[in-house]
Structure 1
Amino acid sequence: MTGVLPRQRIEDLTRTGVIACDAPLAEGQIQPASLDLRLGQTAYRVRASFLAGQGRSVAERLDEFEMHRIDLTPGAVLEKGCVYLVPLQEGLALPAGLHAVANAKSSTGRLDLLTRTITDGGTEFDRIATGYEGPLYAEICPRSFSVLVRPGMRLNQLRLREGEARLSDEALRALHDESPLVDSEPRIDGGLGFSVDLAPRTGTLVGYRAKPHTGVIDLDRIGQYDPAEFWEEVHATDRQIILDPGAFYILVSREAVTIPPAYAAEMAPYLAMVGEFRVHYAGFFDPGFGHEAAGGQGARGVLEVRCHEAPFVLEHGQIVGRLVYERMAEAPDQLYGQEIASNYQGQGLKLSKHFRDPVPKAR
C-alpha cells in the first residue's frame, strides 16, 4: 500500500533497523505520521551552509568548512546568524520503495530557527532518496534569536513514504466534498490554497514581529518567556501591513483547516511571483489536526513569514501558500490532539510554546 507511514509502522522500522537510534526512543518521539529527530552530542560551527554532493560524505565536507566544535552536553548557545552542523541520534537504512522527507518542527519554525536535514551524498536539503543508508545531520541557523540547546532536543522531524502519496486536485476536491477541509470555499490549485488574516473579528492585532536584539532562548523552557521581550505587536487598521526586508513575522491564516485521520499534509510556499517573501518554514500537518475526531473544530495555520529584498504590502485575504494533502498508508493508531501533548490543536494566532500567552497592548 502506498502513502505516508503512520506511527505504528514507524515504530516497526525502529525495531527492524531501518531506523537506527544511538539511544532508546524517547517518550513522544514518534508522532502520528512522523519521527522527531534528536540532536547528538556535538555541534560543528561551519563557515557556510553546504550539501555533501553526490559521492561525498558530510564528514569529508566538514574538513573543508569546520571552524570549531562545541560540546552540547552541558548546554551550549547557538548564536544568531551563525551556521552549525549537528550529527543526529538517528540514521537510516531505507529499503527500495521507501523514501523520506524532513522538515522543521512547528516550534522550531516559530522561532525562525532554520533547521534542515542533510545526508551523505545528498544534493537536496530535507529529501532522502530510497535506498539511502547512513547518518543524518541537522544544519541549524538561528535567524532571529540565539538559542540554548542540549543533546536529545528535537528540532526537526522525518516523514516516510511508500510510493506516490500526494492527492491530485481532483482527489482533493472529492475529499473536501466528503469531509470539509476548510471553513470557506476551497481554493484548490496544486493543493489547498490559504490566505493571510489581516482583518481580525476583534481588535487590530494581526501578528508579531521579532525584535532585532534579544536575549537567549533556552529551548527546554516551556511557557517561561515574556513575549514583549522578544516580539513587537503588529496591528492592521486598513486590512494590510508592510513587510520590512529581513524582518521575521508570525501571522495567521484566514482559513481554519482540518486534516482527516486517513491523511497528512505539508504546507508549501506559494509561487514566488506573488511577492518578495517566504511563508512557513515548518510544514508538516499530522492526521487529526483540527479534526473533530481528535477534539478539534478546525485550526488556523500559523504563518512564519520573512520578507526578502524589498518592502512588500501584504493584504487581507491574499493567498500566501498551499496545503498539499497526502494519503496515509494506513490510519495512525493515534491522532494529533488525541491522547498526546499537541501544543497547537485548535490554534489561532500563537507564538511558539516557549512563550507565555501575550497580553495585547491597549491601543
Structure 2
Amino acid sequence: MKHVPFVVAASIPVVFFAGCSVNPLLLPANSRQSETFRDESELDLPTTPKAQLAKARELAWEAAVIVQNPPHPVETWQKARVKWRQAIRVLEAIATETSVATQAQQRLTVYRTNYAAIDDRLETEQAAVSQLESAQALAWQAAVTVQKPPHTLAVWQSADRKWQQAIAQLEAIPAVSSVSSQSQEKLAIYRRNQKVIQQQIATQKKTLTALATFKTTANYLKDLPTQVAAGQAVGQVGIEYQDYVDRLQLLKTTLAELQPPQGSQHPIYTDLAEALRDYELGITIWQAYQKFKRDNVEWLRGSDSYDQLFPISLVDGNTLMEKYQVTTYLDGSKISLKFTLWAIWDRAKQVVDRAEQEIKS
C-alpha cells in the first residue's frame, strides 16, 4: 500500500490518501473524456491571471473539504476529482508570461499530484464496491445451489467453491473503503455459511465411504452362489461363519461412524440401516442352525446330511417367507441354511443398490 501526500496550500493541513494494489473497477473508455468536457462546460473561467489563480485555489479548497474525514462513497471521490480537474484546467489556462505564472506552475505540480491521489483512491473505492457486489452475487448463487436438499457431493462442493470465492472478494476489500464495515459483517456470515456447507461435504464423503463398504460386502455375498456352484468357495454357504461375523462387524462400525453429526439424516442412511438388519438376520439364522446342529449332534453325527436343513419353527418363518421368499422343505417344516442366507443376501444387495441410485440422483 502506498501513501500519496495531498497538499492544497501551506495553510491547509496535510492529509494522506492511501492507494491500494487492488484490481480497480475501470471507468468506461469515454468516462474521463466526458468528465473533462463537463468540467470545461461547467467552469466559469476568470479572465485575469490573478483571478484565475484565486479560482484555482478556491476549487482546490473545495476539493480538499469534500474528502475530509474518509472513508467516502464513490460519488464523493468523483466530486473531489472533478474539483481537482477544474483547478488544474484553470492553472493550465494561465499564460507563462504573466506575473503569477511561477505560482501557477508550482501549484499545478501539487494539484496534479493531488488529482492522482484522488484518482487512485476513487479506483480503490470503485474496486471495493465491485468486490462487495461480486461477493453478494456469489453468495446468492451458493445459497440457490443448495436449495431443496439432498444433493450430490458435486453440488455441495460447487456451493463451497462459490462461498470461498465470495469470501475471497470480501477479504480483498481494504479497510480504507467505505464498504469495509459492511464487508466485515458479511464476511463473518459467509464464513459460517461455508462451514455448514463443509460439514455437509464431510457427511457426504463419509456416506460415500460407507456406501462403498456396504457395496463391497453386498457384491461379495451376492456372488457366493455362483462361486459355490463353480467349486470356488468354501463349504455349502460359500463363506465361513467367523468371516461373515467379521464382515458384519465392519458394516456396523461403518454405519455408526456415519451417524454424527448429520449422517443419520442422509437419505441413504435408512437404506444402509435396512441392509444391515438383513445381514444381522443372517447371523440369527446361522446361529439357530448351529444350535440345532449342536442339540442334535448324536443323530446328525456332525454332518449336514439334510443339506443344512433345520426347523423353520426355530426362527421367524413368516418374515422369511413373506419378505425374503425363502423356500421351505418337508411340507413347510424345514428351511435350508444356505438357500435362506442367499435369499437374505440377495435382498440386502437390492437395498444397497437402491441406496446407490439415491445418492447418484
TM normalised by structure 1 equals 0.20
By percentage of residues, which structure has more helix? 2
By percentage of residues, which structure has more strand? 1
Higher relative contact order (Cα pairs below 8 Å, separated by 6+ residues)? 1
TM normalised by structure 2 equals 0.20
Structure of larger gyration radius: 2
